[in-house]
Structure 1
Amino acid sequence: MKYLLTVSFVLFALAGSVLAQEKTAAELKNEGNDALRNKDYKAALELYEKALENWSAEEPVDEAMVYNMATCARRIENYDKAIKYYGMSEQQGFRGDISSYYIAYSLKKQDNEDEMEKVLVSAIEEYSSSKYLGHMKKMLVTYYLKKGSEPFNEASQILASAQNADPSQYDEINARANEAFAKAKPWFEKALEYDPDNESAKATLEEINKRLSE
């Protein structure tokens, strides 16, 4: 009797497994939508990915689902998948502007700011009328200010060292400071290209030009 019960349980489990495997891509997608509405981003992404695996090669992949996959990946901080699916979304021509922005955002989270810059520069040019343009420019300008502040602060520290230096070292100290100022200058110029009214960039660039002209 125990053997029969065991066999029955195994058959029941197998039947359930078969039924689960018979779910269509559309059903899996809808379950993913439900999970997304409930903010269960991990489950939603898993369901969407199963739907994608079962998607008919004869039908175009649902654009909104791909975008949702990217959003779920970003929400659970899986930035590799976020970049992958936002890239797919952009290629499909679905919300390309915000997809590009979030690709840049994900690259920033991965400390890949060089690639982030390339994505943003390209997106700003391609989606010049996007309502997200301001967000793209802000991210890019913040990056430029950060990059420029590094050699600018270095130059300031070099100049500060002159207070305790021998007068015979002043020329050499000024030369090293000016070299650092010269490295900082292009970054602040780039920042002003995308944000001409940025007071911080304008003031810093003015200071740099003054130092370099002396």
Structure 2
Amino acid sequence: MKKVVLLVVAVCFTVFSFAQDAAEKMNQANEALQNKEYVKALELYQEVLAIPDHGQDAEGIKSTINQLKPVIAKDDASNAIDSKEYDKALEIYKAAMTEFPDDESLASQAGVKFYNAGIVSYKAKSYLEAAKCFTISEVDFKNDKAEKYKNASLKKVAEDLAAEGKTSVEEVDVCAENKTILISSLANAYVMQGNELYKKGAEVLSAANQKVNDGAMSTADDAYAAEVAKAKKEFVAAIEVLDKALALDASNANATKLLEACKAVQ
């Protein structure tokens, strides 16, 4: 009889020990939650549920865990964006949206986070990075504000390519849709270059003709011939960049119009 009593006491003590351990972990979890240490809180709540005869509100703990998981995912994705790990952040957000389809804040937060990252990159003149962030914000998370800034970023990328004399965008790491936009933007960048060169030539030629009209020189003078040659040099340079524009975008009406104007005054 004495052995049976000892056994019962031992079982009761074990159950009490489990409950006490669970209570302590529960207090630690609640404290971590208040301190916004969400990963730690989640781990502790899960440990509580794993304890036999924990004596805690299992359903309440499970509800808290389900609320914590998307919060942790948001934090992880946000940290990835801050570290410029954009693909990782996108993957985290997408996985969380699949796991927690009722949490509408996931998509809205993701759109804003990538948009803000795009703004930071744009201000830092990291235009290709900015374009990527704005594209993710627009395409993956339906942020309507991002499209305008995506296009502005691609325009800046195109201007940099044009400054280097690039005639292709194949090596630029952008999606197919953005590559199409980039091609058009690069063509327009060359049109702007061509327009500036054309204006310089036209100004030189106009000034020379004004001097002829004023009687300061004649068209037979060497000085006039020199001014005409100077103007033609600008027109030839304009034609070269406008040819680049049309090679990229044959439908660019401004390039065609400027090219015709340059050839007409040669």
Structure-1-length-normalised TM-score = 0.56
The change in CA–CA distance for 1:86 and 1:200 in structure 2 (over 3 A counts) is: closer
Q: Return the match for 2:88 from 61, 65, 69.
A: 61
- Residues 117 and 140 in structure 1, CA contact (< 8 A), matched pair in contact too: no
Taking every aligned residue pair, what percent have the same amino acid on both sides?
18
- Alignment correspondent of 1:145: 191
Partner residue, 2:239: 185
Choose which of 79, 83, 87 in structure 2 pairs with 1:50: 79
Query: Which blocks of at least 5 consecutive residues in structure 1 are unaligned?
Result: 1-11, 33-46, 55-59, 96-101
Q: How does 1:1-214 map to 2 (within 5 A)?
A: 16-17=34-35, 19-20=37-38, 22=40, 27-28=70-71, 30-31=73-74, 48-50=77-79, 61-64=88-91, 65=93, 69-74=113-118, 76=119, 78-79=121-122, 80=124, 83-84=128-129, 105-106=152-153, 108=155, 113-115=159-161, 121-123=168-170, 130-165=176-211, 166-167=217-218, 168=221, 169-212=223-266
Deviation string 1:135-174 (CA, Å, 9 cap, x unpaired) is 2232112111111111110000011102332112220110
**Cα separation, partners in 2 of 1:162 and 1:127, compared to 1, 3 Å:** same
Amino acid paired to 2:184 = K
Q: Check 1:84–1:203 CA distance in 2 against 1; reply closer, same or farther (3 A cut).
A: closer
Alignment length (residue pairs):
170
Cross-structure match for 1:38? none
Residue of structure 2 equivalent to 1:5? none
Residue type of the alignment partner of 1:72: N
Aligned AA (2:245):
A
**Partner in structure 1 of residue 63 of structure 2:** none
Structure-2 change in CA distance of 1:204 and 1:89 (3 Å): closer
1:17 is aligned with what amino acid?
A: N
Name which one, 1 or 2, has greater alpha-carbon Rg: 2
> Is the partner of 2:232 in helix, strand or coil?
helix
Measure the CA separation in 2 of the matches of 1:107 and 1:125: 11
Go from structure 1 to structure 2 and tell me whether the alpha carbon gap of 1:117 and 1:140 turns closer, same or farther (over 3 Å shift): farther
Q: Runs of 5+ in structure 2 lacking a partner? A: 1-29, 43-67, 95-109, 141-148, 212-216
Rounded Cα–Cα distance in structure 2 between residues aligned with 1:209 and 1:149: 13
> Could you tell which deviates more after superposition, 60-69 or 186-195?
60-69
Does the C-alpha gap of structure 1 residues 191 and 84 become closer, same or farther in structure 2, counting only changes over 3 Å? closer
